[in-house]
Structure 1
Amino acid sequence: MQIHPLITDSDALADLCARLSAGDFVAVDTEFMRESTYWPDLCLIQIGNAEEAAAVDPKADDIDLAPLLDMLVDNEDVLKVFHAGGQDVEIVYNLTNKTPHPIFDTQIAAMALGLGEQIGYSNLVDALLGHSLDKGARFTDWARRPLDKRQLDYAIGDVTHLAELFPKMLDRLRETGRGAWINAEMERLADPANYANEPSDSWKRVRIQSRKADVLGRLKAIAAWRECEAQDKNLPRGRLLRDEALADIASHPPKNQKALAKIRGLPSSWASNDIGARLMQVVQHAEPLPEDELPSRRNRKPGLGKEGALVADLLKLLLKIRSREIGVASRLIAKADELEQLAAGVREDIRLLDGWRFEEFGRDALDLVEGRVAFAVRDGKLKVTHTEEEDAE
């Protein structure tokens, strides 16, 4: 494989992208910093395939990233390969308002191959390629220039190994017939809706006990205000105002700006400065949440009760057994909240009751809930048996 020097000019990048665009896939990784900012600070982009790879410096003077971004979001003929690519996809979305497509994530594929729930990149490389990665540069400040050879080698290694991993994993998926199992997960990763930071929807991420319309109306208004302030100041939303303080203000609104000084987690200066004044304007003018926006009972966690909780625990045990038997990460098959819904009597809009998940686990899960499955220890191993099998014996 040819490794190019760090790309810092537009012509070299355009030439590389033209060659990569003629291939079937491109491996992609990014290095960024976001500890102290709202928006991730993109510092390096690594791209490559089986023949060549390079690191691109997005901070280079006057470099035009358009050929690279066009290849990622507009070229449907090239498969984009990532590992745990959520944050990489988010960066591309922030730059283009589009997401890479089609997409393949090796961490998701590893789940279908029974290599772990969320296997790390170095562990995956070691398991499939037998290579031990040098982790010495992982704490690099990628925003500082110049980057030395060791740092660049470390960064480019992420895509050179990725380009080697992808064909091997694809072959295994074809051999096991599990390629279709992860299609929906890949599409979900590429869904632009996952990366749109709409201030008006940000309240849905904040945990709060109340379901009163006036409280949720304040929550929505304050959360939207926080999101806009954080974006404008390029500060992490939690650094501006923590979720706990936001929920407290929504539930127990201060009567005036001076009262902000008494709220835990708020700087005392907010009791008299401009940002505190803007917050109070939002609190005082917030409208109750309209009825059609109130969280539906259907979306709430079902009430299990003591017996239902025991059934949910049995479903989790069944899931552990089945995932071990078929060699698939349990998280890919079902999540805890889905098992709790099933135990509570819900039968609609549950993934495990559809498609391959139903064939591999959902049918047995239904049988367990409805009393047709039992657990037994045979030859020192925990087994799942159907009651009619027990009766036949």
Structure 2
Amino acid sequence: MHIHPLITDSEDLAALCARLAESDFVAVDTEFMRENTYWPELCLVQIANDKEAAAIDPMAPGLDMSPLMDLLTDNEEVLKVFHAGGQDVEIIYNLTNRTPHPIFDTQIAMMAVSQSEQIGYSNLVESWLGLTIDKGARFTDWSRRPLTDRQIEYAIGDVTHLAKIFPKLLARLKKTSRGEWLDQEMEKLADPANYRNDPDVAWKRIKAAGRNAAVLGRLKALAAWREHEAQDKNIPRGRIVRDETLADLASHPPKSQTDLAKVRGLSQGWKENEIGKRLMQTLAGAEPLPEDEMPPRTARGAPLGKEGSLVADLLKLLLKIRAREIDVAARLLARSDELEMLAAGVRKNLAMLEGWRYDTFGRDALDLVEGKLAFAVENGRLKMTHVDDAAA
């Protein structure tokens, strides 16, 4: 495979992208910094097919990145391959308002051919190529220039390895006929809705107990306010106010700005500064959360009662057994909150009761809930037995 020198010139980048546009796939990775900013700062892009690989410096003065972004987001003929690509896709979306498509994520794909739920990149490479990754440059400051040869070599290795692994993994998926299992998961990864920084839905990321409309309305208003403050200053949202402090403010709103000095997580300065004033204005204008925005009563953590909790535990055991039997990640078959909802009597809008998930796991999960399936021990291993079969 031909490895190019670091690309810092617009003509070189355009020529590279023109060649890569003729490929069936490209492996993509990014290096970025986000510790001190709200918006991730793109510092390096690595890209490869089966013939050539390059690192591209987006911080190079005057570099026109549009050929690369067009290749990633507009060219439907080239499959874009990532590993744990959520943050890479987010960065591309922030720059273009578009997401890479079509897309393939090797971490997600491994869920269909192994019981690994979130396999790390180094473990993926060791598993498929028998190579040990040098992790020495992993914690480097990618925004500093100049980059060393070792840094660039380390970064390009991420995509050269990926370009070798992808065809092998694809062949395994075809052999097991599980490629279609991943279609929905890959489309989710490419859905632009996952990457829009909408302040009005920011509250959903914060843990909050209960379904009190007034409390959740304040939480929604505070979370939106924090997003605007963080975006305006381009600093991480946690530097404005931490999640737990926002939840506390929503549950126990202070009566005056002076009281902010008593809130755990806020400094004394909040009782008289401008940001404290804006926080109090936000609380004063908060409306109760509308009924159509309230979290469902059967969401994760909803009370199931003792019997319901036992049924949910049995479903989780069934899921563990089935995942082991067919060598697939349990989370690809069903989520814990879905199992709790099934135990609570929900039968609609559950992914595990549709399509291949129903055939593979959902049908048996329903049978267990309805008393048609039982646990048995055979040769020292736990397995499931249909009640009719056991009677026969």
Q: TM above 0.5, one fold?
A: yes
Query: 5 Å matches for 1:257-296?
Result: 257-296=257-296
Indicate the residue corresponding to 2:11 in structure 1: 11
Q: Distance in 2 between matches of 1:4 and 1:256?
A: 61
Indicate the residue corresponding to 1:225 in structure 2: 225
Indicate the residue corresponding to 1:330 in structure 2: 330
Q: CA deviation at 1:209?
A: 2.3
Q: Which deviates the most, 143-152 or 277-286?
A: 277-286
Indicate the residue corresponding to 1:80 in structure 2: 80
Indicate the residue corresponding to 2:239 in structure 1: 239
Indicate the residue corresponding to 2:321 in structure 1: 321
Deviations 1:230-267 (A, max 9, x none): 01111111121011111111222212111110100012
Q: 2:179 is aligned with what amino acid?
A: G
Q: CA deviation at 1:340?
A: 0.9
Indicate the residue corresponding to 1:202 in structure 2: 202
Q: Distance in 2 between matches of 1:308 and 1:132?
A: 46
Indicate the residue corresponding to 1:306 in structure 2: 306
SS in 1 for 2:99: coil
Q: Distance in 1 between matches of 2:296 and 2:315?
A: 26
Q: Distance in 2 between matches of 1:222 and 1:361?
A: 41
Indicate the residue corresponding to 1:107 in structure 2: 107
Q: CA deviation at 1:212?
A: 2.9
Q: CA deviation at 1:210?
A: 4.2
**Does the CA contact (< 8 Å) of 2:223 and 2:246 recur in 1?**
yes
Q: Does 1:123 align with 2:123?
A: yes
Q: Distance in 1 between matches of 2:111 and 2:349?
A: 23
Q: 2:8 is aligned with what amino acid?
A: T
Cα root mean square deviation, aligned: 1.3
Where structure 2 has 5 or more consecutive residues not aligned to the other structure, the ranges are none
Give aligned-pair identity as a percent. 69
Q: Distance in 1 between matches of 2:16 and 2:206?
A: 43
Indicate the residue corresponding to 1:53 in structure 2: 53
**Does the CA contact (< 8 Å) of 1:301 and 1:341 recur in 2?**
no
Indicate the residue corresponding to 2:149 in structure 1: 149
**Does the CA contact (< 8 Å) of 1:34 and 1:40 recur in 2?**
yes
Q: Distance in 2 between matches of 1:350 and 1:214?
A: 29
**Does the CA contact (< 8 Å) of 2:115 and 2:323 recur in 1?**
no
Indicate the residue corresponding to 2:27 in structure 1: 27
**Does the CA contact (< 8 Å) of 1:125 and 1:165 recur in 2?**
yes
Check 1:197–1:54 CA distance in 2 against 1; reply closer, same or farther (3 A cut): same
Q: Distance in 2 between matches of 1:214 and 1:353?
A: 35
Output the TM-score relative to the length of structure 2.
Answer: 0.97
Q: 1:317 is aligned with what amino acid?
A: L
SS in 2 for 1:112: coil
Q: Distance in 1 between matches of 2:211 and 2:3?
A: 57
Check 1:312–1:235 CA distance in 2 against 1; reply closer, same or farther (3 A cut): same
Q: CA deviation at 1:129?
A: 1.2
Q: Which deviates the most, 44-53 or 248-257?
A: 248-257
Indicate the residue corresponding to 1:358 in structure 2: 358
Q: Distance in 2 between matches of 1:145 and 1:115?
A: 41
SS in 2 for 1:297: coil
Q: CA deviation at 1:302?
A: 4.3
**Does the CA contact (< 8 Å) of 2:47 and 2:159 recur in 1?**
yes
Q: Does 1:191 align with 2:168?
A: no
Deviations 1:327-351 (A, max 9, x none): 1111111111111111111111111
Check 1:279–1:240 CA distance in 2 against 1; reply closer, same or farther (3 A cut): same
**Does the CA contact (< 8 Å) of 1:72 and 1:80 recur in 2?**
yes
**Does the CA contact (< 8 Å) of 1:117 and 1:329 recur in 2?**
yes
Q: Distance in 2 between matches of 1:366 and 1:343?
A: 9
Q: Distance in 1 between matches of 2:292 and 2:355?
A: 32
Q: Which deviates the most, 291-300 or 247-256?
A: 291-300
Indicate the residue corresponding to 2:64 in structure 1: 64
SS in 2 for 1:321: helix
Check 1:199–1:349 CA distance in 2 against 1; reply closer, same or farther (3 A cut): same
Q: Does 1:367 align with 2:358?
A: no
**Does the CA contact (< 8 Å) of 1:210 and 1:251 recur in 2?**
no
